[in-house]
Amino acid sequence: MLIIFNSFSFSLSQTDTQSFLFYFLFASMAAAVMYRMMAAVMLCSRVFADPDLLQDICVADLSSELKLNGYSCKSNATAEDFFSGGLAKPGATNTSTGSAVTGANVQKIPGLNTLGVSLARIDYAPGGLNPPHTHPRATEVVFVLKGELDVGFITTANLLISKSIKEGEIFVFPKGLVHFQKNNGDSPAAVVAAFNSQLPGTQSIAATLFASTPPVPDNVLTKAFQEMELSVSISNQKCRIKILKAVAKLTGVDVLKVDAEKGKLTVVGSVDPVSVATAIRKAGYSADITSVGPPKKPDDGKKTPPPPPVPVPDPPPARCQLVAVTYDTTYEYDRAFCSIL
């Protein structure tokens, strides 16, 4: 076989020719495979990244039934599509949590479509809380307009990163991590929150677990959170709701299930019964804790003696009479719940 490179030539034997052709074909095939792999990687990098804008604006057509990971564009755009005055006024904080969130996302400002940004205003009454929640599609940056807040987020290693921030200061909540803001001051507070998503999404931890449709099975929540149920027997029916809510607030729990008809409420997490009874009595109610214990485990045939009575201080004159408070393990309650802070 005669090989010619420019003006240089040489000949190969039959064996050398076969070897040359083998390595030549192998190198060609390897080059072709590498080319296709690089092309596939480049294609995937384009497919799975956020696409670049192909036009100056794409005002969301919120009435369109077509949804493809966002909103389709409407043909006509006006200045109103890019404007909102919703953040100029404080939100009403007379809620169960003492806070109000006013959103300025693509659903409120259609001109934000494809731009990847949005805002929100959060107002807090004194003692108000924006309960633990996540934004699955965005990082959040808050700027304090007024007041002072205790803020924090929890990492996937269960590390709490928290700080107190005041007017003019900024705090960042990483994308997808559970976080909260609490106004521990005596005056109202407010922040403006910025997101790197036109629709960051909000998932409240309490509502997600205890108000889902259909509901999360009780045995799942019980095992996950080690629920303990307070059974409250109240002599004065007119005071029942009032006392139940007072007990909930005084125990310091965030989420509980209430069955006003049966006089029961469920506390998520462990609660010191002596502290509960003391707090109730300091509030002017009369409580008698007759027994304490966690939810019953499946019967293994072993007899467990009941816990001894818990001593409590003498009560002051009661406005409403609480006859007994016990840890009940029957779990016979409705799935209603309320957030008391």
Strands 255-259 and 264-267: antiparallel
Query: What per-residue confidence (pLDDT) applies to 199?
Result: 94
Go through the domains of the chain in sequence order and give each one's CATH number: 2-47 (no CATH), 79-201 (2.60.120.10), 210-339 (no CATH)
Per-residue model confidence as pLDDT tens digits over 34-78: 556 555 545 544 444 345 677 888 999 998 887 776 788 998 999
Find out whether 140 is annotated in a ligand binding site: yes
Query: What per-residue confidence (pLDDT) applies to 308?
Result: 56
CA angle 73, 78, 81 (to 5 degrees): 65
pTM score of the predicted model: 0.57
Find out whether 179 is annotated in a ligand binding site: yes
104 has a pLDDT exceeding 80: yes
> Is the Cα torsion angle 142, 143, 146, 152 positive or negative in sign?
positive
C-alpha 252/C-alpha 241 separation (Å) is 17
Cβ atoms within 10 Å, residue 146: 16
**Which helix (DSSP H) or strand (DSSP E) does residue 273 occupy?**
helix 273-282
Please, which residues have CB within 8 angstroms of residue 186's CB and are 6 or more apart in sequence? 126
C-alpha 120/C-alpha 216 separation (Å) is 30
- The letter for the amino acid at 127 is G
Find out whether 113 is annotated in a ligand binding site: no
80 band by pLDDT with thresholds 50, 70 and 90? very high
Question: Cβ(324)–Cβ(239) under 8 Å?
Answer: no
Per-residue model confidence as pLDDT tens digits over 182-228: 999 999 999 999 999 999 999 999 888 888 899 888 778 777 766 55
Find out whether 219 is annotated in a ligand binding site: no
